[in-house]
Amino acid sequence: MFERRLQEVRRHLETLRLDALLVSHIPHVRYLTGFTGSNGLCIIARKNQHFLTDHRYRDQSKTEIKGFEIHVSRIGLLEEAGKRRLLKGQSRVGFESQNLSVFAHNKLQKLLPGSALVPTLSVIENIAAVKDEFEIESIKRAVRITEKVFQKLLHILKPGLTELEVAAEIGYLHRRYGAEADAFDAIVASGIRGSLPHARASGKKIKRGELVTLDFGCRLDGYNSDLTRTVAVGRPTARARKVYQIVLDAQCRAIEAARAGIRASALDRVARGYINGKGFGEYFSHSLGHGLGIEIHEELRLSALSKEILRAGNVVTIEPGIYIPGFGGVRIEDDVVIRENGCDVLTVAPKELTII
């Protein structure tokens, strides 16, 4: 698995005429090596590969990483690379321009006076965007945990609980069910707060008759899940039911249309066109979805502005929403794997409006 990933990086080295690529973004380091710590750096050269970390991870890195020359440092990772002359003689060294700080770049330049530092864009992102079956299985297991949490929440949610209390349950239950972490701070948005697409959970109490949007996910073996359901606590209003049904129909249409070869922008248009047609277009204020995997938001975006064409093996979220100021909001989000002739929906949690 890691060998194939390294081969792909080396293919990019050739195309970009690089002698080596410095990988500093920690999810990418994990993707290439299996290292689960918080401080590490890879140097992938044409013929060899190095991994650097600090002393806290001396033993862990040796257990987790195979096939890399491991260097444990007490002086800083870039400094160690300089001291050990790991990049000596490499005339063109690529770095991850979206992830290396200006500070680190300056340091690197001083350490490598004879080399050209070449900014690269999306090298690992592009490789990681297409998942193999093993990765898809990992995402699916993360989705299962999150769905189990959702099922449990249906028994916990009641009027009088604060959004923060619900978020605390989510974090607790994820770990209870075996996740390594939350994928992100859970969004719990009740009543009129539902009109804020990314509302952080607050001290607001959930009231009877309100819709509650729950958007949460977990990480398992380095892969993330992402689930949104909007539920009603007590009887919803007719307007809430109507908005819910429009979002659900838009979401199902987009899932129906998802397959390899479709433009990301065209898929966004499927859901957006439907919501526009129902007169709620101005309230669908974000893109349809995003790539999902080693990061909760990967680079692939299902947006009107995207130039991407979906490929088999992409894992994306499909999550249209309607957010009406002063009223509230509805979002429904599933995770899907793009296949040649359609998509596999990883999420199985029910989507009809649940009334608690």
User: By the 8 A CB rule, do 267 and 254 touch?
Assistant: yes
User: By the 8 A CB rule, do 93 and 20 touch?
Assistant: yes
Contacts of 168 (CB under 8 A, 6+ apart): none
Tokens of 107: 């340091």
To Zn ion, the closest distance from the beta carbon of 16 in angstroms equals 31
Centroid of chain to Cα 97: 19
Stretch that binds Zn ion, among 68-76, 131-139, 150-158, 316-324 (CB under 5 A): 316-324
To Zn ion, the closest distance from the beta carbon of 317 in angstroms equals 4
Q: Taking CB under 5 A as the rule, does residue 225 contact Zn ion?
A: no
Helix (H) or strand (E) holding 255: helix 238-257
Interface residue with Zn ion, options 115, 317, 318, 329 (CB under 5 A): 317
Nearest CB to Zn ion, comparing residues 77 and 336: 336
Nearest CB to Zn ion, comparing residues 108 and 315: 315
Tokens of 223: 């892969």
Contacts of 76 (CB under 8 A, 6+ apart): none
Stretch that binds Zn ion, among 81-89, 92-100, 221-229, 240-248 (CB under 5 A): 221-229
Site for Zn ion in 8-67 (CB under 5 A): none
Nearest CB to Zn ion, comparing residues 50 and 174: 174
To Zn ion, the closest distance from the beta carbon of 214 in angstroms equals 9
What does the alpha-carbon distance between residue 275 and residue 136 come to, in Å, rounded to a whole number? Answer: 30
To Zn ion, the closest distance from the beta carbon of 32 in angstroms equals 25
To Zn ion, the closest distance from the beta carbon of 215 in angstroms equals 4
Q: How many CA atoms lie within 13 A of 263 on its CB side?
A: 9
What does the alpha-carbon distance between residue 316 and residue 311 come to, in Å, rounded to a whole number? Answer: 11
Site map (CB under 5 A) of Zn ion, residues 174-193, x = contact = --------------------
Interface residue with Zn ion, options 54, 182, 226, 298 (CB under 5 A): 226
Stretch that binds Zn ion, among 68-76, 87-95, 113-121, 329-337 (CB under 5 A): 329-337
Interface residue with Zn ion, options 215, 268, 298, 335 (CB under 5 A): 215
DSSP 192-221: GGGGSTTPPP-SPBP-TTEEEEEEE-EEET
Residues that bind Zn ion (CB under 5 A): 215, 226, 228, 317, 333
